[in-house]
Structures are given as structure tokens and as C-alpha cells.
Homo-oligomer: A and B are copies of this chain.
Amino acid sequence: MDFIYNNLIYFIPAFGLIGIFFMLAKSAWVTKQDAGDATMTELSGYIADGAMAFLRAEWKILSYFVIVAAILLAWSGTTVATSSPVIALSFITGAFLSAFAGFIGMRIATKANVRTTQAARTSLAQALKVSFTGGTVMGLGVAGLAIIGLGSLFIVFYTFYVKNVAGSTVNGEDMARALDVLAGFSLGAESIALFARVGGGIYTKAADVGADLVGKVEAGIPEDDVRNPATIADNVGDNVGDVAGMGADLFGSYVATMLATMVLGREIVSHDQFGGIAPILLPMVIAGLGLIFSIVGAAFVKIKNETDSVQKALNIGNWSSIILTAIATYFLVQWMLPADDLHMIRDEAGGILKDGASHFTRNGVYMAIVVGLVVGTLMSMITEYYTAMGKRPVLGIIRQSSTGHATNIIGGLAVGMESTVLPILVLAAGIYGSYYFAGLYGVSIAAAGMMSTTAMQLSIDAFGPIADNAGGIAEMSRLPEEVRHRTDNLDAVGNTTAATGKGFAIASAALTSLALFAAFVGVAGIEHIDIYKAPVLAGLFVGGMIPFIFSSLCISAVGRAAMAMVEEVRRQFREIPGIMEYKAKPEYEKCVAISTKASIREMVAPGLIALITPIIVGFTFGPEVLGGMLAGVTVSGVLMGLFQSNAGGAWDNAKKSFEKGCEINGEMFYKKSEPHKASVTGDTVGDPFKDTSGPSMNILIKLMSIVSLVIAPHLNANVQKTASIHHPVQKEIRMQAVNTNAIKIDKKG
């Protein structure tokens, strides 16, 4: 125990290595499974090739971006004392690992899909095992790489900037420098995530909408029919959007949450345990524990019989990992944090927490973590309510489909708007509660607690698209009904987990952004972000507008790309004779190329808005206005994310309800009825909402916060603008100045 105590910092990457070890074992197991007959292998080969083609095209563009951004970062690192050109290296590492995590997920997903189809020929239990194991590879890969990357870099920077520097203190500017350089890692990860999410989201929906508009509506062939030229692109889309995009998103949240907590942790005046850096190490150790218990939880996800509930199996796995992590974290906090009072430097004046105190205890920290876990769980449950079949919101949309397209749309929009209420109240209570228990550090550690079982969450998330793809391959290969029936069973569960996953992702993004926001305030050296000052309020307005223009760009891009896809599919039906009779093969790769090209082109504009706006606003109007803008982006982004994702999910399930038949005013309606047609309109509108613009909001708000955090030292009037370490004298002088003003107010007021 003493050994662990003295070397805890070195154990952190070890957690990640354990994760990677399990990932490799599970990956090997999936690869060993039977991939089915020649048709199946051929089709899955197309999908895998299409996915890789997209990744390569994306990487090519992003590599230019990473090089340019790294050069700028390296240069900027030389201009202030609390940074360093080394930040460019962290940035590149973060970008590389994020891309690599996406690659791992996509590769295993394109292997697991066809093997799940094959497994579904024998039993549901086996199909679940293959698809969920595929998902676990993604989950463990993302979490493992994140912990290894962040943990190792922290060891390096801590050693060189703090431990080996004489006169450095753990709360001082040297540690600030170590963490600023580390922030580059998060910036790299989040930048890649944004492009992956937006690009993948445009890809998947352009293919989906395009395939449906011509295939289902015009040619009258079923979804995933092998004769539809866009069907391969559609299946590729599930992988690049739902797998790689979601993976990069959560990789980013996971890293950003830990980083923000570490930055706030530096400000905590602690004792000498762990060299005084326990509050900084805590989020990483919690993440490590969460990773281990995710592996444990994954072992519970299994069924025996055809009639067993897949959802229940997933729930048991999920709850095991959450509860085990919650219990273990209690002891961890008791062990790592001192029994006596904790407080943050900036809060020394007191009076901001419960009972007017500024100090908090380790029990308060633990309570904040529990708040985070509860918020995450409630957000998932609420999202499920608003998007699930058979519940009031979806039933309402079904009823409103009976009076036509317009009332279906009005119904969905109303549901989407209404669905923001409970999540926002939960989130607001979570912010309030975690702050009450442990101040700004509490808000941040709540996010870390929520994110601790990311590996498990992501395993469940990635399982969905694998099952979806497996169903597509079964349909395209014209396998027996019972196979498709089993994959449909998995896919239906996947739709629910996709919705709850989105609720979790937006909650985590919101808390992460707040944590980053709080960290930004500290690093930028400002004392208030006072929205009653007009310029700050102007910033709040501009920030609030950004999610609107970002969403507009995303959904227009899907519209444009889908139109191009429609034209290509129409052309192939027209020019290639024999497609409809299965005599000629469609040119799948042309459709893949259209989606790839469109998504790569269209992801640039929204991406640049997210990256450049904070820089322009920060350097033109200063950190306080930038803070106002960040608050605007966060609030508006969370609202627009919830609105769009939930409206889209509800429309989708309203449409799906017609497959089994819906009763409206005593009459039954099925597929091809007028109300069903209206519901298809809603579903098509919802597609870009729920899979492109909605989930991109997560990354938008995180990325803008992390960009602000990285530029914060440059905006801080107290930080020396040359690269030499200095002492906190200057800060004291400024405080004196502020104080003088206060006295002036006093005299005149």
C-alpha cells in the first residue's frame, strides 16, 4: 500500500493498459468468429472499404489542419510564461489518439457486423455476444487510450515543470504551465472529434435520406435492399457516424472532464499527501476505476434463451459498473483526500458554498460525484421517455400524423421543445447541488464521476450500429426471416440505447463545458463574468446564436448532399439496365464517393466557426466577453442539442410504430397508410436533427470551451508575456488596485 501511495501517479496509465489488454483479447475473439458465406463477406467488405475510404479522406484533410494548428500553438506557447511550445506535441498526441480510437472502433465494427449476422443464424444469445463484444472493443479502446495518453503526458509534464524545478509549488504557476500544456491534448482530441462527428453525421444522413427517397419512395424496394446503389453508403454511414463519431465525441468529453477537474484541482489548497496533488490526480484515478468496473460490468451482459430481454442484460451490465464504481469511489476519496477542510484559492474570501462557507470536505467531494452519477442516469431516463414507443410524446405525434404532414411536424417540434424542460431542471439542480457540496471543483468532479463508466456507456452505444449493420447485411444477403428477426430484436434495443446514449452525451458535454468554463475563469485571471455589463451581454447573445448557425449549416449540408445522392441513384437506375432484376450490380462505390466528398467538404465551415470564434472574441474583446460568449454557447447548445436529438428520436419511433400498426381514434393504421406517410416526413426531417446537428452540439460547446481554456493564459493580464517563470507578486499588485477601487466605491456610494 505504501508503494501505491508513493507512486500513485505512475499507476494511472496502468489502468489504461489493463483496458487495452482486455480490448485486444476481445478483438481477437471477435475476429476469430465465423464471417459467413461469400455474399456476406463480399458485402461486409464493401462496407469496410467504404468506411476506410472515408477515414483516409478525412485524415488527409485533418492532417493539414493538425500541422497548421500545431505550428500556431507552438509559436503561441513561446509568448507567455504559463505555456510552452511543447503544447503542440500534446495537441498532436491528442489528435492522433482520438483518430486512432475512432479507427479501432470502426475496424472492429466492420468486422463484428457480419459476424453478428452469421451468429444470428444460430441464436440471439450468440448474436448479442458478438455484437456487444464488438462494442466493448470500442469502449475499452477509447477509455484505455484516453487514460494512457492523459496519464503519461501528465507524468512527463509534472516531472519536468514542477517536480524537478526548485521552488515550485503544486498550487503555483509551474503547475499551471504543466496543465496548460496538457490542455493541448484535450484540444487535439476535441478538434478531431468535432470533424469526425460533423463529417460522419453528414455522411450517414446524406446516404440514409438519399437511399430512402429514391429506393423506398420512388423504386418501392425495401430498406437495405442490395439493388439500391446507396445502400452500402448507408451502412458505411452507420459506422462513420454512429460508431466513429460517437467514439470521438466521448473520447473528447472523457479527456476534457478530467483535464478541467485537474485545472481546478490545482487551485485547491490541500495537504501533503501525494505531494499535494491529490485533487489533481483524483479524476484520473476515478476514471481508471470506472474502466476496471466497466470490464467487470461487461461480463454481466449475456442472455441464455431466445426470449430473454436484451435490454435487461444491458441494464444489468450498466448498473453493475455504475454501482461498483460509486462504492469504490467512496473509499478512494476517503483514502486520497484529507479529512480536514479543502478550499480553492479563488474562493478564500468565503461565502459562496453551503451555509455561506467557502470550504468543503472530502465527503462533499464524494457527494458531488454521486450528484454526477445521478444526473447522468436521470438524463438518460428522461431522453428515453421522450423518444420511446408507447409513451405520451410519441403517441401524440402518431395521433397528429392522422391530420397530415404539417401536424406531424408541428407535433414533433412541440415534443422536441418540451423535452428540454426536465433535462434542464435536472442539469440545473445538478450544477447547483454539486456546487453546494464542493464548489467549482464539485461541478467538475461531478462530471468526472458521470464520465467514469464511459467505457461501459460506449460499449452499449457501439453495440447498436453493429446490430443495425448486421440486419442490413442479413437483408442484403437475403438470409432467412428468422435471422433478420433476431437482428431486428437487437436493433430495436439499439435504438433505445442510442437515445439514452445521446442524453448521457449531452449531459456529460454540459457538465464538462461548465467545468472547462470554471477552469477558464481561473486561468484567464478574471474575477467576474458580469452579464449586466453590456459587452458581456453582447457576448452572451453572440454565443447563443452560434448553435443556431452551426445547426443550420449541418442540416443544409445534409440536404445538399442528399440531393446529390438522389440524382446519382436515379442515374444508376436509369443507365445501368438489369439492376432491378438482380442481373447487374449497382456502382456502390460512386455513392460512397459522393457521401465521402460531400461530408468532408461540408464539415469545414462549421468546424472553423467553432475553432476561430473564441479566438477572435477573446483577443478583440477580452476574457470577460469571451466568458459571456461561452456561457451563451453552452446554454443555447445544450437546448438545441436536446431539442433536435429528442424531436428526431420521437419522429423516428412514431414512424416505426406504424410497422406494427397504430390505433388513432379507434381505427388501425399500418405501413403505406396516409398517417404513416406523414410520419415518414417527420422521420426524414428528424434524421439530420438527431444524427447530424443535434449530437454535434455536444462537441461544439466543449470545443469552444477548450479553445478558450488554451488561449486563456494569453488573455490573462497578470501573466508575464515572456517565457520566464515569475512569482505571484504581480497578482498581488493588481489585487491592491482592485481594492483601491472598492474603497472608492465605499466613499462615494
Contacts and interface: CB of A to CB of B under 8 A. Distances in A.
Nearest to A559: B410
Interface stretch (A71-79, A154-162, A318-326, A530-538): A530-538
A746 interface: yes
Interface in A520-551: 521, 528-535, 537-542, 544-545, 548-549, 551
A548 B744 contact: no
A296 interface: no
Given A428-B541, A541-B638, A635-B636, A413 B555 contact: yes
A741 B635 contact: no
Number of copies: 2
A518 B537 CA distance: 11
| Nearest 3 Cβ contacts at the A-B interface | A435-B534, A406-B684, A417-B552
Contacts of A409: 409, 681, 685
B681 A404 contact: yes
A639 B638 contact: no
Contacts of A636: 544, 635-636, 639
A415 B632 CA distance: 21
Interface in A647-681: 680-681
B742 A742 contact: yes
Nearest to A417: B552
23 contacts: A348-B745, A400-B559, A405-B405, A407-B559, A407-B562, A409-B681, A409-B685, A414-B555, A414-B556, A417-B548, A418-B549, A418-B552, A431-B534, A431-B541, A514-B537, A518-B534, A521-B532, A529-B532, A537-B631, A544-B635, A635-B636, A728-B749, A735-B745
Contacts of A749: 345-346, 348, 728, 731-732, 735
A293 interface: no
A374 interface: no
Interface stretch (A419-427, A466-474, A591-599): A419-427
Given A635-B636, A741-B350, A410 B627 contact: no
Contacts of A566: 403
A327 interface: no
Contacts of A410: 555-556, 558-559, 684-685, 688
Of the listed residues A350, A532, A741, the one surrounded by the most CB atoms of chain B closer than 10 A to its CB is A532
A443 B539 CA distance: 15
Contacts of A545: 420-421, 424-425, 639
Contacts of A544: 424, 544, 635-636, 639
B532 A528 contact: yes
Please tell me the size bucket of the interface on A.
35 or more
B743 A739 contact: yes
Contacts of A405: 405, 681
A349 interface: yes
A628 interface: yes
Given A425-B542, A632-B635, A535 B435 contact: yes
A643 interface: yes
Contacts of A731: 749
A516 B484 CA distance: 61
Interface of A: 209, 213, 217, 345-346, 348-352, 400, 403-407, 409-411, 413-415, 417-418, 420-421, 424-425, 427-429, 431-432, 434-435, 439-440, 443, 514, 517-518, 521, 528-535, 537-542, 544-545, 548-549, 551-553, 555-556, 558-559, 562-563, 566, 627-628, 631-632, 635-636, 638-639, 643, 680-682, 684-685, 688, 728, 731-732, 735-736, 738-739, 741-746, 748-749
Contacts of A682: 406
A428 B540 CA distance: 9
Contact of A732 (B528, B743, B746): B746
Given A403-B213, A420-B549, A542 B428 contact: yes
A413 B685 contact: yes
Contacts of A735: 742, 745-746, 749
A366 to B, nearest CB: 18
Nearest to A551: B417
B427 A541 contact: yes
B635 A548 contact: no
Contacts of A346: 749
Contacts of A535: 431-432, 435
Given A521-B532, A636-B639, A738-B742, 7 more contacts: A348-B744, A351-B741, A406-B682, A414-B556, A439-B534, A541-B638, A735-B746
Given A431-B537, A559-B400, A736 B745 contact: no
A432 B350 contact: no
Contacts of A562: 407
A628 B406 CA distance: 36
A532 B517 contact: yes
B639 A548 contact: yes
Nearest to A212: B406
Of the listed residues A350, A549, A745, the one surrounded by the most CB atoms of chain B closer than 10 A to its CB is A745
